[in-house]
Amino acid sequence: MKYINEIDIKGKTVLCRFDFNVPLDEDLHITDDRRIKAALPTINYALDEDARVIVIAHLGRPEGKVIDSLSLKPVARRLSRLLGKEVVLAKDCIGDEVKTLIQGMEPHCILLLENLRFHIEEAENSDDFARELAGYADVYVDDAFGNAHRTHASNVGITKFAKKCCAGFLMKRELNYFSTTLKNPLRPFVAIIGGSKVSDKLEALANLIRRVDKMIIGGGMAFTFLKAMGHEVGTSLVEENLVNMARRGIKIAKERGVKLYLPVDCVIAEEADPKAVTKIVPVQEIDPNWMGLDIGPASIALFREALSDAKTIMWNGPMGVFEIDAFSMGTFSMVHTVAQSHALTIVGGGDTDVAVHRAGQSDYITYISTGGGASLELLEGKKLPAVKALNEWEKKMD
């Protein structure tokens, strides 16, 4: 597929799909605008080419209903402030009023269409909905990496009807970092996989174990592996149906010469509560009535040593329930270890992204992905539907 700087958009009308699914507080103020800032290089490039820029995006999951609290009004205000120019927000994303606004656009103008997901046809990948969106512009640009694992009208169906298709600069950065790292990493290559469930990361584990030199497993998912090794894990999160799979994963790692690191101690409590009494115990001494909620200091030291010679580190998933202070030390210690390493470091989106920014270490990470689900699918070795659609359009044109 081609990128926006590889095609002629001079003076044209450009329809850009971005991922502006940003968090809002109770007063509908944006609390984290990184996804909006990530779109600025593509928008500014289009403006420099005298293009008329139409922006489409979604916010939340309104499931086909118009919900005022999920309007893109806060996005329009923040985007206007970041660009230093007016961003007009349409009342809808389809219809005659939208067409009239587009017809009145001058070069260098920006029009943001209202939440795509106010129409159920978006998630259903409706041809009619996609056709109407495609008809607005001369060129369609997909720069919504965070939505690239979805098969929706605005990122997959639209490629069947658009006159020209390409990807934006954010999509290029995301794909380049992940593909280069997975195909030809500097070694030793270490993967850090955390989060609550093995089932959420099973395919990523299976794909990565064939590529890495070392693998560190933490978070709630570690207890399924610890149980597979015969440890008492108390009331910790365990996926019983995957214990045998975890046992097999340990065996495969050994056969392939991959060094597998699991917690050797953990922070336990009777429940995941900020006021709960906590204890630090070796994994062999977890109380049957308590649960593991973070890795302990010995595990932190072990994982730090495992990362000491790494040349490439890829991390997806926290080491514990870091939203609660009592169970945050493992995740934040890992953030600092990764940030202070001399490796190329790539952090998946979602909770890991949040942890890195809370720890104030984002400037010291090589690349932080903007898409949790999309980055996870790349780690699983899958092809993203939106990327596949762009590639197929390009093949069709050839």
How many of the other CB atoms lie within 10 Å of CB of 91?
Answer: 12
What pLDDT shows up at residue 267? 98
**Per-residue pLDDT reduced to its tens digit, 290-344:** 999 999 999 999 999 999 999 999 999 999 999 999 999 999 999 999 999 999 9
How far is 157 from 164, CA to CA, in rounded Å? Answer: 14
104 band by pLDDT with thresholds 50, 70 and 90: very high
Distances from the Cα of 334 to the Cα of 40, 128, 307, 338, angstroms: 30, 48, 10, 6
Question: Are 4-171+384-397 and 187-342 the same fold in CATH?
Answer: yes
Least confident range from 36-45, 197-206, 323-332: namely 197-206
pLDDT of residue 350: 79
Report the candidate in 381, 387, 383 with the shortest Cα–Cα distance to residue 211: 381
- Residue 317, sorted as left (phi over 0), alpha (psi -120 to 50) or beta, turns out to be left
- Residue 90's Cα: distance from chain center in Å? 28
Nearest-10 crossing angle of helices 198-208, 372-379: 40
Cα–Cα dist 108/9, whole Å: 12
Give the residue among 105, 120, 122, 88 at the shortest CA–CA distance from 17. Answer: 122
Pairing mode, strands 139-142 and 367-368:
unpaired
Q: State the pLDDT at residue 90.
A: 98
* Dihedral, 175, 180, 181, 186 alpha carbons, nearest 10: -160
Q: Could you state, in order of their start, the residue ranges of all structural domains in the chain?
A: 4-171+384-397, 187-342
Express each pLDDT in 354-398 by its tens digit.
999 999 999 999 999 998 889 999 999 999 999 999 999 999 887
- The architecture of the domain spanning 187-342 is 3-Layer(aba) Sandwich (3.40)
Residue closest to 155 by CA, chosen among 278, 276, 18: 18
- Angle subtended by helix axes 73-83 and 34-48, to nearest 10: 60
Alpha helix ranges (H) inside the chain: 34-48, 73-83, 96-103, 120-123, 127-134, 169-183, 198-208, 222-228, 243-256, 297-307, 329-340, 351-358, 372-379, 385-397
What pTM value is reported for the model?
A: 0.92
Note the residue count of the chain.
Answer: 398
Residue bearing tokens 């090794």: 229
Segment 48-95, tens digit of pLDDT: 999 999 999 999 999 999 999 999 999 999 999 999 999 999 999 999
Q: pLDDT at position 73, please? A: 98
Could you confirm whether domain 4-171+384-397 is CATH 3.20.20.80? no
- Give the active site residues: 35, 197, 350, 373
